[in-house]
Amino acid sequence: MHLALKALLTMIRKIHSLIVLLFWAVAVSTASAQSPLQPESPIRPDSPIRPGDRIAIVGNTFADQLRIHGYLETMLLQRWPDNPVSIRNLGWGGDMLNARDRPTNFPAEEETLSAHRTDVIIACFGMGESFAGEEGVQSFQAAVDAWIKSLEGKTYNGKSQVRLVLVSPIANEPLGKLTPRHEQRDREISAYSQAMSEVAIAAQVPFVDLYQTSRYLMDEPIGPNFTTNGIHLNSYGYWAMSHYLFRDLVRDDPAAVQPPWQILIDAADLTTQARGVDISDAARTEAGIKFRATELIAPTLPPPTSDDLPPQLHHLRDSMTITNLPPGIYELTVDDVSVATASHDDWARGVTIDASPAHQEAEAFRRAVNDKNLQFTYSWKALNQVHIVGERKKSPSGRALPAEVIEFNQLAQKRDAKLRDGIERQTRNWRVTRIH
């Protein structure tokens, strides 16, 4: 009886997860049907994230580590280049709603939220609290409810009440000996995610369910691990989860869920179709074809792994398909930069494109996002607290620290302003040449 019930619950969980991912697929299809050249649809007033929002991220290790990977922030910045968001990450490893200890004389969170003129807070909690077991769920629900109520009437931007978004913890990834209590821990995390969802629904606060999404992806045997120890995402995990978190944050704006680049070319008659780029001047060459591609949207950031991805994530990558090429091996170059090499059969099936000059510029932009976050961290969470409140407070370096903190904050603001320029979209020369 126990095994039958367990099998039924597992089936229900997978069906729910599939429904969640199908919703995203429908959203992508809806966005695909809209030409990037058409005006964007109006932003619904209840959209979790809106153009120009000043965002603060608070929470546990998941929140804290978002700042050093930069995928989510890069996607949000690229989404509205004419009115970009601005983000400050206040995450702190190990934070829980009722346990957020800070060093002596550390600035109050409200001060930082006000200084940033925060419009919306993205809160990531539940993982640390889940270690209290299922008997701690009710206390956690009460803490989430109390936290939401504590922010009622707060106007950090000086004009409107701060908006909230709640983000669940991820599932517990089964990693053999690294996760000896996997099933129990996963049940506990699931219970805390569900508890957060119930409070969010009651309070009419947007809720992002990363538990169900990550559980579904972790059950797929193909692809690298998402975490280092079952609960802390690695760089690949942050790449994948950031895509789904982004899509939930802009879910009420169908035009915001822009699908990756997709280029389709028939080498026989040079007919073309494209999404994300505009193709022109297609022509044959002695050993292949050439054309010009004008970038309409920013390229998709490549995953930080060379391993095969699970099928559920293939739709997150830019690709090009060329049919009717004569047999042979063909190299793609973009502005004379080698991007991909594949056989005519592989090109006919579709080849991932994520090493073009535009992709390299997108990666450089992500590194700039990470650098901005580093400067802010130095200004907000100075690494050597002994110089602030400890025995070296009156030393030359201790006396110099306040001025240095101010300078780091100014550096963060300058880098933030530079990020508003976004990634320049260009027209580039693409060439596919037979090399064997």
* Judgement on whether residues 96 and 109 belong to the same structural domain of the protein: yes
CB distance 415 to 375 below 8 Å: yes
Residue corresponding to tokens 């099998």 = 7
For every residue of 349-391, DSSP letters joined together read: H-EE---SHHHHHHHHHHHHHHHHHHHHHHHHS-S-GGGTTST
356 and 225 assigned to the same domain:
no
| Distance of alpha carbon 394 from alpha carbon 388, whole angstroms | 9
Q: Which two tokens stand for residue 369?
A: 């996002």
C-alpha–C-alpha distance, residues 25 and 375, integer Å:
37
> Same structural domain for residues 168 and 152?
yes
CATH number at residue 233: 3.40.50.1110
Please tell me the distance from the alpha carbon of residue 211 to that of residue 112, in angstroms, as a whole number. 29
Same domain? 144 vs 50:
yes
Number of folded domains in the chain?
2
Structural tokens at position 236:
């690949």
Closest CA to 218 of 17, 420, 8, 78: 17
Of 304, 303, 322, the C-alpha closest to 314 is 303
Of 205, 236, 256, which residue constitutes the final position of a domain? 256
Residues 77 and 213 both lie in one domain: yes
Cα angle for residues 244, 250, 251 (degrees, 5° grid): 80
Coil/strand/helix, residue 115: helix
β-pairing, 277-285 vs 288-295, is antiparallel
How many Å from the N-terminal Cα to the C-terminal Cα in the chain? Answer: 62
Rg (CA), the chain: 24
Q: What pLDDT was estimated at residue 388?
A: 53
- Model pTM? 0.86
Domain contains 2: no
Residue 38 within any structural domain of the chain: no
What is the reported pLDDT for 1? 39
Name the residue range of residue 369's domain: 259-436
Q: Which of 208, 332, 322, 214 is nearest to 273 (CA)?
A: 322
Say yes or no: 244 and 359 in one domain.
Answer: no
Only one residue has tokens 């005006």, namely 39
**Helix axis angle, 357-380 to 396-419, nearest 10°:** 150
Given a contact cutoff of 8 angstroms between Cβ atoms, the answer to whether 223 and 237 are in contact is no
> Within 10 Å of residue 202's Cβ, how many Cβ atoms?
12
pLDDT reported for residue 45:
53
Q: What is the dihedral of CA 397, 402, 404, 405, to 10 degrees?
A: 130
In this structure, the answer to whether residues 303 and 353 fall within a common structural domain is yes
Tell me if 109 sits within 8 A of 275, measured CB to CB. Answer: no
Query: Helix (H, G, I), strand (E, B), or coil: what is residue 329?
Result: strand
Provide the pLDDT for residue 394: 62
pLDDT given at position 30: 40
Per-residue pLDDT of the chain (436 residues; tens, 9 = 90+): 344 444 444 444 444 444 433 443 443 344 433 333 333 434 445 689 999 999 999 999 999 999 999 999 999 999 888 899 999 999 999 999 999 988 777 889 999 999 999 999 999 999 999 999 999 999 999 999 999 999 999 999 999 999 999 999 999 999 999 999 999 999 999 999 999 999 999 999 999 999 999 999 999 999 999 999 999 999 999 999 999 999 999 987 766 667 899 999 999 999 999 999 999 999 999 999 999 999 999 999 999 999 999 998 998 999 999 999 999 999 999 999 999 999 999 999 999 999 999 999 999 999 999 999 999 998 888 665 555 555 555 666 555 566 667 788 888 999 999 999 888 999 999 999 999 9
Listed residue (255, 167, 259) closest to 213, CA to CA? 167
| pLDDT for 397 | 56
* DSSP one-letter string for 24-90: HHHHHHHHHTS-TTSPPPPPPTT-SS-TT-EEEEEESHHHHHHHHH-HHHHHHHHH-TTS--EEEE-
Structural domain contains residue 140? yes
Same domain, 161 and 304: no
Query: Which of 238, 256, 274 is at the close of a domain?
Result: 256
Give dist(CA 338, CA 136) in Å, integer. 55
Specify whether 182 is located in the same domain as 243: yes
Q: Are both 29 and 172 inside the same structural domain?
A: yes
In a domain, 1, yes or no: no
In a domain, 268, yes or no: yes
Name the residue among 236, 238, 276, 239 with its Cα closest to residue 257: 276
Q: Looking at the structure, do residues 247 and 263 belong to the same domain, yes or no?
A: no
Last residue of a domain, one of 256, 278, 301: 256
Place of tokens 């994948």: 240
Same domain, 278 and 371: yes
In a domain, 3, yes or no: no
